[in-house]
Amino acid sequence: MMTAVTETILPLLPVKDMVLFINIEHPVVVGRPRSIAAIEEAAGKEDKAILVVTQRSADVDDPRQDDLYQVGTLAYIHRLERHGNNAISLTLRGQERVRIMALDDSHLFLQARYEVLPLPVDTSEEAEALHRDIINQAAQIDALMSSNWPKGMLPQMLQSLKDPMEHVYVLASLLKIEIPEQQAIHEATSRLEAMRSLHEALNHEIQVLTLQQEIASQAASKVSAEQRQYLLRQQLETIQKELGEGDADRTEVEELRQQLEAVELPEDVRKVVQKELERLSKMPPAAQDYQLTHAYLRLVAELPWNTSSADRLDLALARKVLDEDHFDLKEVKERIIEHLAMRKLNPAARSSILCLVGPPGVGKTSLGSSIAKALNREFERISLGGLHDEAELRGHRRTYIGAMPGRIIQALRRKGVNNPLILLDEVDKLGHDYRGDPAAALMEILDPSQNKDFRDNYLDLSFDLSRVFFVTTANTLDTIPRPLLDRMEVLRLSGYTEEEKAEIARRYLLPNQLRDVKLDSTRIVVPETVLLQIVRRYTREAGVRELNRQLARVVRKCAIPFAEGHHEPVTVSEQQLADLLGPERFAIETRRRNFAPGISTGLAWTEAGGDVLFIEAVKTPGGKGLILTGQLGEVMKESAQAALSYIWSQAEALGIDATAFHSSGVHIHVPAGAIPKDGPSAGVTMASALVSLFTGKAVRSDTAMTGEITLAGLVLPVGGIKEKVLAARRAGISRIVLPAENIKDLDEIDERIRQEIEFIPATHLQEVFAAVIPAP
Amino acid sequence: MFFASWKPPADVFYAGERWIIKVELAGVSPDDVEIAAQDRTLTIRGRRRDRWLQQGFACHSLEISYTRFERSIILPARIETNSIRWEYLDGILRIQLNTRGARS
């Protein structure tokens, strides 16, 4: 060992995260002031020698002896460079292993006395074996290293070195070996010990690297699984092509494209469709949007943009069809024929929007389908009863999950023509809530000037509804919003008379019932008089539904003998009705006879047809004011007030003692008490009852009356004349006093009935009183 | 960065069995140089010391290696140890020697 360093005390540089081995050059960046001072001290000496000792813990900034390992390295500063931020980077070269004897930290820098710790050059077979294995391990590690490691560098470097310890030191400082292990290798008292430590550390390193590679390859195999699937799909596609099956999804798109090309689309629709098709063909079939877009395009393809059915414009034939299906209803039938005539003259004319109003069971819905039959149009019925979601009519936007087109568009798609007859049933029973008002949506649909460009939310394209024949039905117009009603042509179907019902039963209902049991009218005979009795005693309705049910009962019961094998024709007599249908359900309403003063007969209109009602008035001596009972509505109460006020004001002219109004109150009751009643049409009836009460003269019991009154005594027209007249006739009334302005409504009534009843027109209450209260 | 220790550059000339070897050893004191020959290998080793130190000056940067050095030159024939002569001039160490025997 020549030229040993002369000094026995040298500056000491504590280092973290590294161990400087002999004959190894190592770059270090120094920033701690004490370390810099130590380096400056060393660099200012001839041989630039310094002691390098590793800290036990990297966290300590100002290490004492206890914080440092005991064995360090005598090193030379090989290169030195200062940086602007007061840091010094240097290259140290390890020279000797040293033991730190005494640390002196009383100066600006650490310095220590040391003793050189030479490593004996021991050779053993075990060391030789370990050395070889270490070389092997190095090769393994080199192979296992990640891609940015220069492959082959390590074995090459080892080859250039001869001394086994140099191998040990290179590997120990180059590979990721923990500081305590590095220090252990550095401190080893023999080569064998150093090699053992390194061998162990390298083994650990190999295990870690192997594991790391395994993890990496697992991730890689995940990716390659997807790639595999992709490849398999590609192969499948090829196989399908070979088999002539083709790609199912692609052909689906192709099919759709052909379908869309085959239909004649408006220009703007064509554009949208092209864009959507483009999107679809680029989408993988598993994409969420694929199904949505596909369904949408299918709808567009199936909608009848330009397909319409040819109208049958044969007026005579249409008339025949309508007459076959429905009895009477002249007004409605006439309107249909008018429509046909208009179409015949101008095929491009707008379709009508009709509103059929009438009581239940008069045949509104079936009339709808008859109209369709007469015109030879497709028929679709949409029930609006209870519908309260606007989206039902106009559809949901496609962005919503489960979005669907509205019912109108669905109906058109189903029918495949753009001019069907769509019956919007129960338009008076539309609901509405926070989801919107379907009535408002209906307004757009039913407005001939707007529905040319009907825009369904789902379709989001304008569709021409102007060729659709809309027919709506309703029981009452009261609940239909005015603006909506305004867009429709209202046709009233009033109730049928008893004779009409009997006729309907004979012509339509009975044959239908017989057909159900496969018998004909020669087997079960129900004479017209019996039918009339069924109508009168077993039903009370405006329509014929209940009648139909009663007829069904009759037919069922009469069919039993035929089922038992008898073949004698059966004729139903009036006497048998009680057996067949049970006791009669409605006594025929007869007029009351022998009225006391204060009672008069009124006529009411109900949704189920007309009705007769009696108004009873009594004086309540000592009482005060007017008492009204019988579930009267606001309007009816007011009209009672008006009647009383009028009579009071005209007491003298009417021959009434005016003091009577002071001495007693009046109570007016309208039976039946449980049925709510309203409307102004009972005005004349109440006035008559009151006059009769105060004059003490009874009202004629064969006379019924209707009409609104004013305080001036005028009689104003009212509605529902036909129903009222029919009800009066049923009750056996022979005279009816009605507002003069209502006389024109009598045209609706069958000629025969008009003959039976005497109609007395009135414009003023005086005329009413004169007609109903006979002079004694 | 490892083992890139200072290796002084050397030129080698020969004429038959006579050799001249020049080694660049600037700033090295001849006292700190050792020349050894064994068989066909000539080894020059020693160390350079920083002898130009001035009191009161701190080190700013360091590029000259003041470490030990060792340079071995292998010649094609056996070196005659007795024939080695050297001189040190202008920072260059000049060695003369003879070889003997067959070149291999």
Q: Using pLDDT thresholds of 50, 70 and 90, give the confidence band for residue A490.
A: confident
Question: Do the Cβ atoms of A93 and B67 come within 8 Å?
Answer: yes
The mean per-residue pLDDT over the stretch A279-307 comes to 82
Residue B79 has pLDDT above 60, yes or no: yes
Which are the contacts of B73, defined by CB distance < 8 A and separation ≥ 6? B10, B12, B21, B41, B42, B43, B44
For the ranges A110-124, A146-160, A524-538, the lowest mean pLDDT is seen at A146-160
pLDDT at B1: 34
- Among A351, A352, A639, A681, the active-site one is A681
Is A246 a residue whose pLDDT tops 70? no
Q: According to the model, what pLDDT value does residue A108 have?
A: 87
| Distance between first and last Cα of chain B | 34
Residue A55 has pLDDT above 90, yes or no: yes
Residue at token pair 């790391």: A212
Query: What is the distance between the alpha carbons of residues A724 and A718, in angstroms, rounded to a whole number?
Result: 11
- Answer with the residue of higher pLDDT: A147 or A273: A273
Split at pLDDT 50, 70, 90, the class of A12 is: very high
Please tell me the predicted confidence (pLDDT) of residue B84. 92
Provide the pLDDT for residue A19: 92
User: Mean pLDDT across the stretch A446-460?
Assistant: 83
Residue of A nearest to B6 (CA): A78
Q: Tell me which chain A residues have a C-beta less than 8 angstroms from the C-beta of B45.
A: 2
What pLDDT was estimated at residue A607? 63
Check residue A439 and give its pLDDT: 81
User: pTM to 2 decimals?
Assistant: 0.51
Which amino acid belongs to residue A72?
G
Read off the pLDDT band of A431 (50, 70, 90): confident
Lowest mean pLDDT segment, chosen from A311-320, B42-51, B74-83? A311-320
Instruction: Point out the residue among A23, A43, A95 whose CB comes nearest to the CB of B62.
Output: A43
More confident site: A348 or A334 = A334
* Residue-level pLDDT at A58: 85
What is the Cα–Cα distance from A259 to A523, expressed in whole angstroms? 56
Contact B60 A82 (CB under 8 A): yes
- A109, pLDDT greater than 70: yes
Report the C-alpha gap between A65 and A104 in whole angstroms. 9
d(CA A348, CA A305): 16
Give the C-alpha separation, A354 to A578, whole Å.
43
CA A732/CA A71 separation, integer angstroms: 134
Q: Closest residue of B to A78, CA-based? A: B65
- To which H or E segment does residue B38 belong? strand B33-38
**In the predicted model, what is the mean pLDDT of chain A?**
83
Residue found by looking up tokens 């019991």 in the block: A701
Q: How far is CA A113 from the centre of its chain?
A: 89
> Burial letters for A92-110: b for 16+ Cβ neighbours within 10 Å, e otherwise?
bbbbbbbebeebeeeeebb
Instruction: State the Cα angle at A323 between A319 and A328, rounded to 5°.
Output: 120
Name the more confident of A594 and A31: A31
Residue A91 to residue B1, Cβ atoms within 8 A: yes
A67-103 pLDDT, tens digit per residue, is: 999 999 999 888 888 887 788 999 898 988 999 988 8
The span from the CA of A587 to the CA of A24, in Å, is 127
Cβ of A82 and B3 within 8 Å?
no
How does strand A25-30 pair with strand A71-82? unpaired
Choice among A333, A501, A677, A724 that is catalytic: A724
CB-CB under 8 Å, A46 with B49: yes
Mean pLDDT of A426-447: 79
Question: DSSP per residue over B89-104, as a string?
Answer: ETTEEEEEEEEES---
pLDDT winner (highest mean) among A534-543, A666-675, B12-21? B12-21
Other C-beta atoms lying within 10 Å of the C-beta of residue A752: 9
Query: Environment class of residue A737 by beta-carbon count within 10 Å: exposed (0-12), middle (13-18) or buried (19+)?
Result: buried
Compute the average pLDDT of residues A16-45.
89
Among residues A594, A668, A600, the alpha carbon closest in space to that of A631 is found at: A668
Q: Is A308 a catalytic residue?
A: no
Q: Mind telling me how many Å the CA of A76 is from chain B's nearest CA?
A: 6
Chain A positions in Cβ-Cβ contact with residue B61 (cut-off 8 Å): 80-82
The DSSP H or E segment spanning A369 is: helix A364-375
Across the interface, of A2, A43, A80, the residue whose CB is closest to B34 is A2
Å from A101 to nearest chain B CA?
24
Kindly report whether the peptide bond that precedes residue A672 is cis, defined as omega within 30 degrees of 0: yes
Question: What band does A20 get if pLDDT is binned at 50, 70 and 90?
Answer: very high
Check A90 against B32: CB less than 8 A apart: no
- Among the listed residues B82, B85, B80, B81, the one whose alpha carbon sits nearest the alpha carbon of residue B96: B85
Q: How confident is residue A594, by pLDDT bands cut at 50, 70 and 90?
A: low
Which H, E and C letters describe A274-327, residue by residue? Answer: HHHHHHHHHCCCCCHHHHHHHHHHHHHHHCCCCCCCCCCCCHHHHHHHHHHHCC
Average pLDDT on A477-482 reads 81
pLDDT digits (tens, 9 = 90+) for A548-587: 888 888 888 888 888 888 777 888 888 888 888 888 776 6
pLDDT of residue B2: 42
Least confident of A671-685, A737-751, B38-52: A671-685
Report percent pLDDT > 70 for chain A: 95
Instruction: Identify the band that residue A3 occupies on the pLDDT scale cut at 50, 70 and 90.
Output: very low
Strongest mean pLDDT among A35-39, A331-335, A596-600, A770-774: A35-39
The per-residue pLDDT for range A170-225, each reduced to its tens digit, is: 888 888 788 899 999 999 988 889 999 999 999 988 888 888 888 888 777 777 77
Helix (H, G, I), strand (E, B) or coil at A731: coil
Query: Which residue in A91, A102, A95 sits closest to A8, CA to CA?
Result: A102
Q: Tokens for A116?
A: 């050189």
Q: What is the SS3 string spanning A30-77? A: ECCHHHHHHHHHHHCCCCCEEEEEEECCCCCCCCCHHHECCEEEEEEE
Arithmetic mean of pLDDT, A686-706: 85
Among this protein's residues, is A370 annotated catalytic? no
Mean pLDDT over A354-377 rounds to 84
Determine whether the interchain pair B58/A40 forms a contact, defined as Cβ–Cβ distance below 8 Å.
yes
- Kindly report the nearest CA distance between residue A142 and chain B, in angstroms: 17
